[in-house]
Amino acid sequence: MTATEAAAKPATRSAARRARARLSEGKKAERRLGWLLCAPAAIVMLAVTAYPIAYSVWLSFQRFDLKFPDEREFVGLANYATVLTNGYWWTAFGVTMLITVVTVAVELVLGMGLAWVMFRTVVGRGLVRTAALIPYGIVTVVAAFSWKYAWTPDTGYLASVVGDGAPLTERASSLAIIMLAEIWKTTPFMALLLMAGLALVPEDLLKAASMDGATGWQRFTRVILPVMKPAILVALLFRTLDAFRVFDNIYVLTAGANNTSSVSMLTYNNLMRGLNLGIGSTMSVLIFLAVAIIAFVFVKLFGTAAPGSSEEGKR
Amino acid sequence: MVERWRRRRLAALATAALLAPLAGCGGDDGGVPVINVYYAPEQNFQKVVDDCNQQAQGRYRIAYQVLPRGADDQRVQMVRRLAAEDDGMDVLGLDVTWTPEFASAEWIREWTGEHKEEASRGTLEQPLRSASFEGRLYAAPKNTNTQLLWYRTDLVPEPPKTWDEMIKMSLDLKAQGKPYEIDTMGAQYEGLVVLYNNMVASNGGRILDDEGTEAVFDQKAVDALATLQRFASAGVTNPSFTNTQEDGARLQFQSGSGAFQLNYPFVWPALQEGAPDLKDKVKWARYPGMSDGSPSKVTIGGYNLAVSAYSKHPDEAFEAALCLRSPEHQLFSAINDGVPPTIESLYADPAMDEAYPFKADILAQVKEGANRPLTPAYQNLSTVLAATLSPPAAIEPERDAEALRASIQDALESKGVLP
């Protein structure tokens, strides 16, 4: 669009009018074509996401346990009442919130540092960037197993560092280890998104700020952060949504022992192991709602948008 | 019947030979039915399968599909596919605790007539009970299993008969500065439920009523809670007790810190290889009981073979299952893979002596053993029980029993939330 407008400028007025008329016609055709091109993807999306979601909602209104096929019946909101008044659910919800808030906060700080290093490195830039991304490249379950063995007394190298006990047998230390594994794993992802934001900060702006006598900290908080805000919000949104659905690390490290289950872990236990489609679907619908609320808050209240898209719209 | 089959096969072969150049790649449709057996990894099971394929003489061909190693993963894979009415599975290797569940869900076929008779002939009572649901047989017991007490003869001259005795011995050893640990499974999973079930059964207590539909949790089951708590808090366990599963317990004992180990017989061959300095100092005895004079009743484990309700070749599948668990093959698996047979007469076979020096104790324990509560909702019950029992040192018998009566009843009716 910008390109066509720019091309239209030097033309004479009448030519411009003609061009505009032609454009709007072309625009219509373009829009139609756009819809047609989108349609297959939209239909596939509906089939693979909307249908399962609707089916989950439908299942969540039923008493439906695969073990007792004859006892299937419609129970309305009874499953929601069962789950929302259950202690295990709220414990798991608390654990999930704790993990989400702590890991995302720590990842933001560490990720910023790592992004800065990756961005500013002069020597061996490729090597530094590759090395920083290794944890993100390792399969979560594999990494979780190595953490597990590392923290197991007798076989692990980390367990002896912290003393005699077995850290994965107590709640606080288990949660700390789960969060550590999460942070180790996803900080590079955060750093990658933030590095894209750093690249948006114009060098001239920083030079001008230092000419005006801004200290390093002031340049960071007054110039870099505001310019980076869209990138930071997107990074936070992605990570928060991901962190809220934490599963692999818990599944491997503690399997939910000592009240370390997250909501996803609890859902898996009810759905896959308990074969209780009613209760399990209720939980997955609740997780879906929670994730939707998080996304809504980020998009509407903090104004998160795809990086660069808001500026493009203004220009 | 067989004659007719042969003739038909010959005719089919002749036709196939004539048509072969035309068909090119017709596949095996209408040929020998393939029986897919989904079974846990067992090192020499393929040899049993090959042998059965030979005995089948072309009536069917068994394909061994190896399930994941973890019991939960095995169950989840089969359950997911059965829920989708997958007809690609014919024979299913079920842990003894899953049989009622699969039967209630109408995922497996009842065994009747000749097949039933062959599956029950000479089979030990407890394993056979584990394969039954509502008075009907739904699977053929393939192997059983039970935990023994393994102890260090250099530290413990006479093996303890009861839990209290064992805890006291361990504390004495600890006071003398010798290896003292009682190594066993205490993580929040099935193993902890088995540990507790051993105590309840040995004490003569009950968790469910006889129909398996009501949570009873009588006084003797409450006393067992107290014993478990005492054991876990006496300072006689490994520091990792609450995160220990079978192999962890084996490693703890093998590392030399344990005086006692309660575990399955797989620890014996592993000890011979992994701890040569310990192997002559370790002996076995019956699992400890709850009180003097009444021997322990120990939980039985093991696998049953069932035929999927969605199998396209049920007759061949029943035959294949019977072959895989035939006396001759059970003996082979016992000797080569260390899984105890479910047919009593095999224990008298001298061929078992070398691989199974402890066979007499195993047989006695299986004969006088106990099943875990037999109910379709066992998985729920076990999950709830494991969550309440964990960590065992924090058990408060009366309060927990009260909570368990309610949560187990919910679990049985699939009403509550599983932890």
Judged by CB atoms closer than 8 Å, whether chains meet at B419 and A273 is answered as no
pLDDT band at residue A307 under the 50/70/90 scheme: low
CB contact under 8 A, A153 and B239: yes
Q: B417 and A261 in contact by Cβ < 8 A?
A: no
Q: What is the phi/psi pair of residue B142, to 5°? A: -95, -50
Kindly write down the DSSP assignment for every residue of A174-239, as one continuous string: HHHHHHHHHHHHHHHHHHHHHHHHHTTS-HHHHHHHHHTT--HHHIIIIIIHHHHHHHHHHHHHHH
From chain B, pick out residues whose CB is under 8 angstroms from the CB of A269: 383, 418-419
Q: How far is CA B70 from CA B130, B190, B268, in A?
A: 20, 11, 21
Please give the residue of chain B at the shortest CA–CA distance from A65: B414
A82 vs B416: CB contact, 8 Å cut-off?
A: yes
Is residue B335 within 8 Å of B352, Cβ to Cβ?
yes
**In the structure encoding, which two tokens stand for residue A249, read together?**
């690390």
Least confident of A93-97, B153-157, B273-277: B273-277
- Which residues in chain A have Cβ-Cβ distances shorter than 8 Å to B106? 69
Q: What token pair was written down for B327?
A: 């006396």
Of A68, A261, A266, the CB nearest to B414: A68
* Record: contact B391-A169, CB cut-off 8 A: yes
Q: For B287, which DSSP code?
A: P
Across the interface, which of B243, B251, B376 has its CB nearest the CB of A67? B376
> Which tokens sit at A172?
């606080």
Question: Does the beta carbon of A121 lie under 8 angstroms from any beta carbon of chain B?
Answer: no
Two tokens at B400? 């927990």
User: How is residue A49 written in tokens?
Assistant: 């996401």
- ipTM, two decimals: 0.71
Pick the closest to residue B370 from B290, B305, B267, B292 (CA basis).
Answer: B290
Max mean pLDDT among A307-311, B17-21, B99-103 falls in B99-103
Q: How far apart are CA B231 and CA A298, in angstroms?
A: 51
Closest CA to A224 of A244, A203, A240: A203
Query: Chain B partners of A273 at a C-beta cutoff of 8 Å?
Result: 72, 75-76, 379, 383, 418
Q: A80 — contact with chain B (CB < 8 Å)?
A: no
What average pLDDT does the segment B240-266 reach? Answer: 91
Q: Given an 8 Å threshold on Cβ–Cβ distance, is B414 in contact with A164?
A: no
The answer to whether A93 faces chain B, any CB pair under 8 Å, is: no
Cis amide leading into B391 (omega within 30): yes
Q: What is the mean pLDDT of residues B238-251?
A: 89
What is the β-pairing status of strands B91-95 and B34-39? parallel
Average pLDDT, chain B: 90
Count of CB atoms situated within 10 Å of the CB of B11: 10
Listing DSSP states for A238-267 in one string gives HHHHHHHT--HHHHHHTTTTTTT--HHHHH
Alpha-carbon distance B127 to B339, whole Å? 13
The pLDDT > 90 percentage for chain B reads: 74
On whether any CB of chain B is under 8 Å from the CB of A285, the answer is no
B37-57: pLDDT as tens digits:
999 999 999 999 999 999 999
- C-alpha separations of B196 from A43, A129, B97, B224, B385 in Å: 53, 52, 15, 7, 9
Give the number of beta-carbon pairs within 8 Å between A and B: 99
The first and second tokens of residue B53, run together, are 């394929």
Cβ contact A133:A186 at 8 Å: no
Question: pLDDT by residue (tens digit) across B331-369?
Answer: 999 998 889 999 999 999 998 888 889 999 999 999 999
> Residue B294: what residue type?
S
Name residues whose C-beta falls within 8 Å of residue B341's C-beta, 6 or more positions apart in sequence: B143, B144, B327, B330, B331, B333, B334, B347
Find the CB nearest B414 among A67, A168, A269.
A67
Count Cβ atoms within 10 A of the Cβ of residue A2 and give its class: 0-12 exposed, 13-18 middle, 19 or more buried. Answer: exposed
What pLDDT is attached to residue B2?
Answer: 46
Answer positive or negative: Cα dihedral of B216, B219, B223, B226: positive
Question: Comparing A7-16, A271-280, B163-172, B326-335, which segment has the lowest mean pLDDT?
Answer: A7-16
pLDDT on residue B8: 52
Fill in the amino acid letter for B10. L
pLDDT exceeds 90 at position A315: no
> pLDDT tens across B55-69, in order?
999 999 999 999 998
The confidence band for B210, taking pLDDT boundaries of 50, 70 and 90, is: confident
Residues above pLDDT 70, as percent of chain A: 89
Does the pLDDT of residue B169 top 70, yes or no? yes
Taken in order A107, A108, A113, A116, is the CA torsion positive or negative?
Answer: positive
Q: Which fold has domain A86-275?
A: MetI-like fold (1.10.3720)
Separation in Å, CA B411 to CA A155, A258, B216, B305, B320: 37, 20, 13, 26, 35
pLDDT tens-digit series, residues A155-184: 788 887 877 677 887 889 899 999 999 999
Question: Tens of pLDDT along A203-248?
Answer: 999 999 999 998 989 999 999 999 999 899 999 999 999 999 999 9
Checking DSSP bridges between strand A73-74 and strand A62-63, what pairing results, if any? Answer: antiparallel
Which 8-state DSSP code applies to residue B187? S
Q: What is the largest distance, in Å, between two alpha-carbon atoms of chain A?
A: 86
More confident residue, A313 or B406: B406
**The most confident of A213-217, A271-275, B257-261, B333-337, by mean pLDDT:** B257-261
pLDDT at A23: 65
Contact A86 B414 (CB under 8 A): no
Q: Are B246 and B185 in contact (CB under 8 A)?
A: yes
Taking an 8 Å cut-off on Cβ atoms, the answer to whether B391 and A66 are in contact is no
CB contact under 8 A, B188 and A257: yes
Inter-chain residue contact B418 with A269, CB threshold 8 Å = yes
Strands B181-183, B258-263: pairing kind: parallel
B166 or A5, which is more confident? B166
For residue A256, the chain B residues in CB contact (below 8 A) are 188, 419
- Examine the pLDDT at B21 and tell me if it is beyond 50: no
Show me where the domains of chain A are located.
86-275
Instruction: Give the gap in angstroms from C-alpha B105 to the nearest C-alpha of chain A.
Output: 5
How far A78 CA lies from chain B's nearest CA (Å)?
A: 10
Closest chain A CA to residue B84: A66
State yes or no: pLDDT of A312 exceeds 90.
no
pLDDT the model gives residue B9: 53
* Rounded percentage of chain B residues whose pLDDT exceeds 70: 93
Q: How far apart are CA B248 and CA B135, in angstroms?
A: 38
Mean pLDDT of A140-148: 93
What's the rounded Cα separation, in Å, for the pair A40 and A265? 34
Residues of A in contact with B419 (CB under 8 A): 88, 256, 261, 266, 269
Spatial strand order of the sheet with B91-95 comes to B61-66, B34-39, B91-95, B301-307, B140-145
Residue A265 has pLDDT above 70, yes or no: yes
Q: Report the pLDDT averaged over residues B27-35.
A: 72
Q: What pLDDT is recorded for position A13?
A: 56
Does A83 lie at the interface with B, CB-CB under 8 angstroms? yes
Of the partner residues A88, A257, A272, the one whose CB lies closest to the CB of residue B76: A272
**pTM listed for this prediction:** 0.77
- Residue A315 is encoded by which pair of tokens? 């220009």
- The whole-angstrom distance between B21's CA and the closest CA on chain A is 43
Q: Which of B243, B416, B419 sits opposite A261 (nearest CB)?
A: B419
Subunit contact A279:B390, Cβ cutoff 8 A: no
Q: Which residue of A has its CA nearest to B188?
A: A257
Quickly count: other Cβ atoms within 10 Å of residue A41's Cβ: 9
Contacts of A168 in chain B (CB under 8 A): 243
pLDDT of B7 higher than 70: no
Q: Which of B195, B172, B200, B203 is nearest to B293 (CA)?
A: B203
